[in-house]
Amino acid sequence: MDMKGVTIRYVKVATLGVGVCSKGHVRPGQESKKYFDEVIIQSLIIVEW
């Protein structure tokens, strides 16, 4: 797929959580959180909302 000349400003990322933190975790019983420091875009899928 040729993406030359395509400029995007925002990317929406949807994830599924793993639930709550286990008993051995620093914050047991709390909902797990997701953090990203890098997102690699491999293809462009256009979705009309």
Per-residue pLDDT of the chain (49 residues; tens, 9 = 90+): 556 777 778 888 888 888 999 999 999 999 988 888 988 877 666 667 6
pLDDT value at residue 2: 57
Give the number of other Cβ atoms within 10 Å of residue 3's Cβ. 11
Cα distance between residue 39 and residue 44, in whole Å:
13
How many distinct structural domains can be found in the chain? 1
pLDDT value at residue 35: 87
pLDDT value at residue 12: 85
pLDDT value at residue 3: 62
Is pTM, for the whole model, over 0.85? no
Long-range contacts of range 13-19, CB-CB < 8 Å, 24 or more positions apart?
13/39
Domain that holds residue 40: 1-49
